[in-house]
Every structure is written in C-alpha cells, then in structure tokens.
Amino acid sequence: MSKENSLKIALAQLNLYVGAIEKNVDAILAAAKSAKELGADILVAPELSLTGYPPEDLLLRDGFILRTQTELSRLIESTREGIDLIVGYPKAANGKLYNVAGVIVDGALVAEYEKQELPNYSVFDEKRYFTAGDKACVVDYKGHQLGISICEDIWHNTAVEQSVEAGAGLIINLNASPFHTQKIPERLDIVRDKAAKVKRSVIYVNQVGGQDELVFDGASFVIDPKGRVLQQSPCFVEDVAVIDCFIDSEGHSEVQATTVNALPDSAFDGKEFDGRYNEIPGDGQFRPEENEAMIYNALVCGLRDYVNKNGFKGVVLGLSGGIDSALTLAIAADALGGDRVVAIMMPFKYTSDLSKNAAQEQAERLGVQYESVSIEPMYKAFVGQLAPIFDGMGVDTTEENIQARCRGLLLMAYSNKMGHMVLTTGNKSEMAVGYATLYGDMVGGYSAIKDVYKTLVYDLSRFRNRLAKKQGQSEVIPSTVINRPPSAELAPDQKDSDSLPPYDVLDGILKLYIEEELSPSEIVKAGYNKEDVNRIAWMVKRNEYKRRQAAPGVRILKKAFGRDRRYPITSGFDNKA
C-alpha cells in the first residue's frame, strides 16, 4: 500500500456524561468537526460513548436504550456531510443487550462489533447487563482492514487474534478504562504485549473525566508491534489527535501524528488547573513526583466533574487547620476556582491559635471565601439538654462526638441555605479504622481524599507546595500545617498518636491488609507488631458500618472502599485468619 493511500484516523478522548445521551452525541459531533478540519477520514470515540461509562442500571430501562438508538441515527446522518465514525453504544437484539462498537460510513451503519470479554471484577459488573459477542469484526475501510475491539478484549487472547486471522492490518480498541495509580504503565505493558503477539499496531482510545467515584485519565495512544509509542495523548484533558497511518501488506504500520487540543471548551471544565501532568514517560514508568502529579490531577478532575455534572454552585468544607482539610481545600480551589469554594473554621475551646491562624492564612492564599463560626454555644446547648439523662456520668468520647456533630450540622445548614455541596475531609487511613464521627466530620456529599492514605496526604501536600514554588507562588498549604503533629483537637492536648500507631506504621499495615488482602499472621511475618496488626484488623472490620454510610469519593487505588472492597457489615469471620 502506497503512502498516497494513507488513512487519517482521529483519536477523540472525550469527557462524557453518563445518561446525557444528546450531550454526548453533541460532543462527538464537535470532535468530528474538529477532526475533519484537521483532515481526518474517520474518528474513533471511546467505549459506550453515546451513554457514558458506566451507565449501570440505566441500561435496564427500555426508554434509555430507545433514546440511544434515536441519537445513533443522528450520528449516522451526520456522516453524510462530516467524517466517518467508530462509536460505542449499547444495542438490544433478540432480548439481549450488547456492548457494541459501530462503524458508520457515509450515512450508513456498515458494521457492528459486539464486545466479547465482559469484565466482572473490581469496579466492573458488565455481565449484569450485557451478553458477550463471539465474532470478530474486520472492516474494509478505503482499502484498509480495520479490526475493531472494545477495552477488555485486548487484555485476553481471543477477540484481537480473531481479528488478525480475519485479515485485520490494524487494531482499533475503544475504551472506558478508569484510572488508578499503576493503571497507565499496566495498560501500556498489556497493549505492547498484544501488539507484539499479533504483529499489528494498536490504536487505543480512552474516555476522560470523572464519573461518581471513577476517574478516567484518557492517555490515548498508538503502539506498534515493536512496542514503540507512536502517539500519546495527554492525561485528564479532552483531546483530538489525528494520525497518518500507513499499513503494508503484512500489517506493519507507520504512524505520523499531530496532537491538537482542537475541541471547544468542555461544558464540565471549571478553572483549568495548570499544574496537571500531561506527559507520559517513554517507558511508561512514573517517577515519584510524576506519580504524585498524576494522583493530584485525578483528584482535581474527579472533584471538578462531580460538582459540575451534578449542578452544584460550589463547595463548602470545614477548614480545621489540619493537613487533611488543607489538602482538600487546595484540591477544591484548583478544581473549581477560589470563587466557588467556601472554607469555614469552627473553633472550640480546644482549637489552638495555630489552627485558627493557619486556616485563615491558607484561605487567603487560595482566594476562597472564609468564615469563622464558633461551635461553643451549640455545644453547650446540646450538653445542657442531655445533662439530666447523663447525670452522674463522666466525660468521654460522647462529648467529643458532639463537637464533631455540631460542625456537621453547621456545614449542612450552610449547604442547604447557599446551595454549596459539603466536602468531607477524611482520608483512607481514618476511614479504614473508623477514626471519624458518623454524622459529624463524615457529613457531606463527596470526598476528594477518601482513597488517599495519610502518608500520601503529606506527600501530595508537599507536591502541591513544590508546584506553587515553581510557579513563583507562596506555599498553598502552610508549612506549619504539614509539620505539626496531627490532632483532631476534640480534647486537651489530643494527638492522633494517642489512639493510633504512627501513620507510617498504620498505613503499612493497612496497605497489606486492604490492598494486598494479606491475613494478620502474614502481615506479622512481614515485620509488623502482632498486637498492632490484630488491633488494626479488628478496627477495619468493626467500622464497615461507618464506611457503608460514608460519602462517595475519588478512586485512585485498586481497592477503594465502596466500589472495589465490598465486605459485609455483619460478619463472623475471624480476622486473625
């Protein structure tokens, strides 16, 4: 095949909105228009691009599927004057539902591929909805043999191989692949192996943006059979990249690419965070600061899209002068802009001057609205009303929890009156062991750092300050907040270490117990104190009921509470096993 017959393919990584089928089609059409202006012949959109991913039980509604088909017809008609398309959508046929990629050429749906490998683990439950296909799909497009596949297909040994056997010279893979900390290098390794095995180049197009707890990083790419990354799109931004593809008779590909952020501003973009890390290292392996940048951007992206897609005016949070609320505030300001963020300090007699000063200082640096409202009158009223019932009983954690619940009540009142969503500020270490007050500091609609261990909270805070320094700005998070001993300040001279092991020890145990699913005895063999391990394992089990009632939050690890780690509240299982 001569280079005069090259094929120009557009990779469109889009920020899709689950259930907003008309808006998603509008986004595909806008991308197609941009791609056409760049000379593209055909545009590839992500998996289930018409519905957004994951649509969950919306797929069980007949009206949802009918509307998808109606909007698919609009896309088909658009190709008469626009460019051709490969898009994803659900298709009902013979009483079954399929996850489909459709190839639309010059006003006609010329082929449909039904996804064969349906993931049913971790955050995925596609077998609840879809029936697996069993046939390859190879489309002769302008003399090029294109093998179509969807996401999980490329992680297994059937669908792509079938395409090559059927004559595919190039593999096109549509994806809705969510982010976690090791996902990008893992993804690149898998596709490299597949490309080498079938001796074909692979075009990998991924969704971008936040959807509830999931964040999609985009990072679409093209890989050749030698494992070379021929095209790499940025992370956490919408993007159209057009590649010139030459395929010889043996399926070997040569790609020339120009990445162009050619899309109009997304309806879901807030303040653009200019510290995001868009480049992927050539070997796919992230250095520590790069990894911190990727995680931070995932948190910003997840929070921004949750707030904007759900139509909130802004967010409000309790700013305590501690590091968790400080990091949350920085993420919120980067995601939405300071004018949409409200920070409320709610001091009590145990609140130190350091906390008050640090909170106000950070709020001023980030340009957010700052309020200070004492909870002492509320606390006294509650304790006074309870005094006859509690007569003769000493002060204990009950009074500490009343403080936290006064703050939760105050934040929710502000939310109701002003229309701002409450952000919770608890980290994964605290949520794991129940070091949080139900209906108190757990009150809120969303959590930016729900899946962030305490030690990583410190790392991300230092990263954000380094970024500020590089940009010639003051520290976003005051160093006094980072360097002080962590404390809930619910009692005189209280420190987290009074109730918990040091956070480096606690997080080490939790990662082995939660992420690696090791037993307590195995964790002890790894070098941790037996008493600490057994106590922490017991606390994790005992506080499942709290986590079940916690706000959703951004997922960055492979074992996030909620979507990934699903344990029963009532369980007789012996945690020492």
Q: Tell me, what amino acid is at 88?
A: G
| CA 150 to mean position of chain CA atoms | 20
Which among 36, 115, 511, 546 is annotated as catalytic? 115
What crossing angle do the helices spanning 454-470 and 503-510 adopt, rounded to 10°?
110
User: H-helix or E-strand containing 144?
Assistant: strand 144-150
Q: Tell me, what amino acid is at 207?
A: Q
Q: Any catalytic annotation for residue 151?
A: yes
Distances from the Cα of 64 to the Cα of 22, 70, 270, angstroms: 11, 10, 29
DSSP class per residue in 59-121: GG-HHHHHHHHHHHHHHHHHTTTS-EEEEEEEEEETTEEEEEEEEEETTEEEEEEE------S
Q: In the chain, what's the furthest Cα-to-Cα distance?
A: 92
Q: State residue 549 phi and psi, 5-degree precision.
A: -105, 5
Non-local (6+) Cβ contacts of 260 within 8 A are 34, 38, 239, 240, 241, 242
Residue 274: burial class (beta carbons within 10 Å; 0-12, 13-18, 19+): exposed
Angle at 164 between CA 160 and CA 169, to 5 degrees: 110
SS3 529: coil
Contact 305, 209 (CB under 8 A): yes
Q: Any catalytic annotation for residue 115?
A: yes
Contact 181, 456 (CB under 8 A): no
Which among 33, 91, 151, 152 is annotated as catalytic? 151
Q: Tell me, what amino acid is at 312?
A: F
484 vs 477: CA distance, rounded Å: 12
| CA 127 to mean position of chain CA atoms | 22
Which among 8, 36, 47, 450 is annotated as catalytic? 47
**Structure-block tokens of residue 288:** 């520590």
100 vs 114: CA distance, rounded Å: 5
**Structure-block tokens of residue 557:** 């690890």
Q: State residue 224 phi and psi, 5-degree precision.
A: -95, 175
Active site residues: 47, 115, 151
